[in-house]
Amino acid sequence: MATSLLLPTFPPSPRQSLTRSYRWFPVRTGLKPVCLTATRAQTSGGDAEESVVIVGAGIGGLATAVSLHRLGVRSVVLEQAESLRTGGTSLTLFKNGWRVLDAISVGPQLRTQFLEIEGMVVKNGDGRELRSFTFKDEDQSQEVRAVERRVLLETLASQLPPETIKFSSKLKTIQTNANGDTQLELEDGSKLLAKIVIGCDGIRSKVATWMGFSEPRYVGHCAFRGLGFYPEGQPFENKVNYIYGRGLRAGYVPVSSTKVYWFICFNSPSLGPKITDPAILKRQAKELVSTWPKDLQDLIDLTPDETISRTPLVDRWLWPGVAPTASKGRVVLVGDAWHPMTPNLGQGACCALEDSVVLANKLAGAIKGGSESVEEAMESYGSERWSRAFPLTVRANLVGALLQWDNPLVCSVRDNVVIPKLVRLGPMLEHTNFECEPLFGSSKI
């Protein structure tokens, strides 16, 4: 039976009348119709009312907001910090991440700022080269660049209409009412009533906790990360450099002409104390690799204090029939809030970007009068993306476990047989295959 979605048409200028007009779209669904009303309206109970609320202005949240914006759907992004959280280092984007960035029309702008990585070199702790690969030799369509997190976030945010992101908006509680709407209470006491909620609030997601997800699980190793700065120009080739030891590995990759991202991953039976003092972090990182190539030591010394960090690596395995589904009513999860994974495949950010365009396409179709309801669109998204995210999470975990071996005999076999003679890069990068069309919408909703 055809029901209807009630959608607002917003006036083109804030100086014009604020009276809402509505258009009706037929939707075949047995569920209750969803009435998407104008942003920042006031309900009879005094709560602000929003149509689409995204919780979290990280990569997944901003990419989802931009994707919806490209498709003509307005959203509001709640960010608990006072500004964009632009700290941290960089992240590696493979071709699937760039497909998404191209689809939302920010790829060209980002490419001009970051080097394309041509290949990778694997060495042992003594500096002996075990294997090298060229990405284009394995896959002509491959594209790999290390991107500064700050630049990526600022670029995505710049694509959104003014006032889309609401800073200092920390989520406190979540409740749903009989109509399926969701009330979000913030730490400052304000409340919002949302028709659709998209949780993009990271690995410690309050939205995921409300939906019944377990805390992410510590995998047994931690990572130091930093972004070295060479004011006169960095000296490295455009390659990913990996160094493997016993229960210890490191890597570094040029980001731009003056910046180089690096990491050191080490086994640790427990999380250990939280340390934020950059001097202590640098000293600990250098002690771990004190006998390794000097390039890595110099890189750590040239790392600005604000970019160095030490974090535990965690993930969450979405076992079928055990883990909750990606959506609950008209609340849905994206990225690390749903499927946190270890960085061993370089797919955490890429997977969040994929989530954003898939969800945006499905929601926009439902909102604009497609054959699915909003709830059905979210369920379809969850089913499609689970079959992608769950295997990647498991594979990333297993790769990390293998690379963190500390048994001398096993490490010798790895360094002298597995890596030099058995590893093939092409099949290992098949998970970067992902296609999506450019996102274009007609009218604003």
In tens, the pLDDT along 313-357 reads 999 999 999 999 999 999 999 999 999 999 999 999 999 999 999
Q: Is residue 409 part of a domain?
A: yes
Structure confidence at residue 40 (pLDDT): 42
Structure confidence at residue 370 (pLDDT): 78
Which pair of structure tokens corresponds to residue 138? 């394995």
CATH number of the domain within which 201 lies? 3.50.50.60
Structure confidence at residue 426 (pLDDT): 86
Are 245 and 265 in contact, with CB atoms under 8 Å apart? no
Alpha carbon separation from 168 to 46, 78, 79, 81, 181 (Å, rounded): 20, 8, 6, 5, 23
pLDDT category at 12 given cuts 50, 70, 90 is very low
**Crossing angle of helices 59-70 and 149-158, rounded to 10°:** 30
Structure confidence at residue 41 (pLDDT): 37
Rounded to 5°, the CA angle 313-317-320 comes to 175
What is the percent of the chain where pLDDT is above 90?
A: 82
Is the pLDDT at 44 greater than 70? The verdict is no
Structure confidence at residue 441 (pLDDT): 65
Render pLDDT for 161-217 as a digit per residue (tens, 0 to 9): 999 999 999 999 999 999 999 999 999 999 999 999 999 999 999 999 999 999 999
Q: Is residue 19 part of a domain?
A: no
Bridge partners (DSSP) listed for residue 240: 120
Give the whole-angstrom CA distance, residue 222 versus residue 274.
12
Q: Is residue 445 part of a domain?
A: no
Give the whole-angstrom CA distance, residue 33 versus residue 37.
12
- 354-383 burial code (b ≥16 CB/10 A, e <16): bbbbbbbbbbbbbbbbbebbbbbbbbbbbe
Q: Is residue 438 part of a domain?
A: no
Please count the structural domains in the chain: 1
Is the pLDDT at 18 greater than 50? The verdict is no
Q: Is residue 113 part of a domain?
A: yes
Render pLDDT for 127-166 as a digit per residue (tens, 0 to 9): 999 999 999 998 999 999 999 999 999 999 999 999 999 9
Which pair of structure tokens corresponds to residue 227? 């972004």
pLDDT category at 8 given cuts 50, 70, 90 is very low
Give the whole-angstrom CA distance, residue 427 versus residue 56.
34
Structure confidence at residue 212 (pLDDT): 97
Amino acid at 151: V
Q: Is residue 4 part of a domain?
A: no
- Which position has the higher pLDDT, 441 or 35? 441
Is the pLDDT at 7 greater than 50? The verdict is no
Closest CA to 56 of 202, 191, 196: 202
Structure confidence at residue 35 (pLDDT): 40
Give the whole-angstrom CA distance, residue 419 versus residue 249.
14
Domain range for 178 is 48-432
Give the whole-angstrom CA distance, residue 362 versus residue 373.
10
Is the pLDDT at 237 greater than 80? The verdict is yes
Average pLDDT of the segment spanning 57-85:
97
Average pLDDT of the segment spanning 63-75:
97
Q: Is residue 104 part of a domain?
A: yes
Which pair of structure tokens corresponds to residue 84? 């964009």
Least confidently predicted of 51-65, 90-104, 364-378 = 364-378
Q: Is residue 1 part of a domain?
A: no
Give the whole-angstrom CA distance, residue 40 versus residue 388.
36
Give the whole-angstrom CA distance, residue 411 versus residue 433.
31
